[in-house]
A and B are shown apart, each in its own frame.
Chain A
Amino acid sequence: MRNAVQIVEDDYAAQGLGVELLPFFYCAEFPTLGGAPQDVTTIVAVDRDSDFIWFDTRICAYNGSPTLRSRGYVNLRLDTQGRNLTEQNLGNVAPFGGVVFGVGGQAMRPFVFHDPVVLPARSALVVRFTSLVESFTDLHVAFHGMKAVTVRR
């Protein structure tokens, strides 16, 4: 029985491509939130050299001290090429909405997709962070997965 790495390699081979799979983290950084309610957006651009197979999401949030802030409502909205990955209800405590840790844990307990998302090379992921109640000084989001670097056979 093939394992998942072989499945991915076979998928690309069916398109006439060899593939090298590399662990990678795309990161959305919000380094200066200022300690007040915020509505900020940043764009994560997928490199041109490879597709990105996205497995899980990790978030670290701070209020200036080396501890986590886990109260309050935060909405994290992800768009990829115009497709929303979340509903826009800001008060909804659900994956990708509500308390910031509803959408991502840290490395020790990441928020894992039930089915990985493939972000094509040169695509973009728009990450919007809105804090309604809680005050953060900085927020760090990482999307973990694999780069699929292809070569023509």
Chain B
Amino acid sequence: MFDFYDFTAAGFLDSLGDLYEKKGYAVQYLPFVYSVDFFPLTASSIASRQVEINADADFVCCALSYIAHTSTGNNIVLPRVLLSLVIDNNQRALTSVPTALGNLYGTGPRPGNLFKPLILPANSTMTINAQNLDSADRNIRLSHVGVKAFLSRAA
């Protein structure tokens, strides 16, 4: 059928560019990162944050990465945090139920790649719900790595 190597982000961006072209647009991709902070995510609590996509361009999210620290600044590998992600404009969830942070987000050198990049339209939001299962506060930054798709009318 196909090989998972065929699902590169670059390949997907090529086909997305073709789609924009059919609609009469030229597209320019520029790397971008949207981040949200839970400073702190308090012990045994639940909190929500929103990723707010700028008005200037759609965002194609290709990978997810995180960094986490204790309240005293020590690095933590894979804190016990459950996450769910919901795209607000259509209420589509990205997970069937909340799951461990480490199942969704990787690190900078080894991010959690999405086989099918996630398109977040300009001016849209995505809500991230986080539940801290630990009995201590955690400082967590979640980063969404991808490209902004700047459109212009094709000549």
Residues of A whose CB lies within 8 Å of any CB of B are 3-8, 11, 21-27, 29, 44, 47, 55-56, 58-60, 62, 66-68, 106-110, 112-116, 138, 140-142, 144-146
CA distance A149 to B96 in the complex (A): 15
| Contact between chains at A5 and B104 (CB < 8 Å) | no
CA distance A66 to B115 in the complex (A): 28
CA distance A23 to B98 in the complex (A): 15
Shortest beta-carbon distance from A58 to chain B in Å: 4
CA distance A114 to B1 in the complex (A): 11
CA distance A56 to B113 in the complex (A): 11
* Contact flags B64-93 to A (C-beta < 8 A → 1, else 0): 100000000000111110100000000010
Which residues of A are found within 8 Å of B6, using beta-carbon distances?
3-4, 7
Q: Which of B1, B15, B80 contacts A6 (CB 8 A)?
A: B15
B7 on interface, CB distance cutoff 8 Å = yes
Residues of B whose CB lies within 8 Å of any CB of A are 1-4, 6-8, 11-12, 14-15, 64, 76-80, 82, 92, 94-107, 109-112, 114-118, 133-134
Which residues of A are found within 8 Å of B118, using beta-carbon distances?
22-23
CA distance A102 to B102 in the complex (A): 16
Which residues of B are found within 8 Å of A109, using beta-carbon distances?
106, 110
Which residues of B are found within 8 Å of A11, using beta-carbon distances?
1
| Contact between chains at A60 and B114 (CB < 8 Å) | no
Which residues of A are found within 8 Å of B102, using beta-carbon distances?
58, 60, 106-107, 140
| Contact between chains at B103 and A60 (CB < 8 Å) | yes
| Contact between chains at A107 and B96 (CB < 8 Å) | no
Task: Beyond A25-B99, A107-B64, list 17 extra A-B contacts (CB 8 Å).
Answer: A3-B7, A3-B11, A4-B11, A24-B94, A25-B104, A27-B96, A27-B98, A27-B103, A29-B97, A58-B112, A67-B77, A106-B112, A107-B105, A109-B110, A115-B1, A140-B102, A146-B116
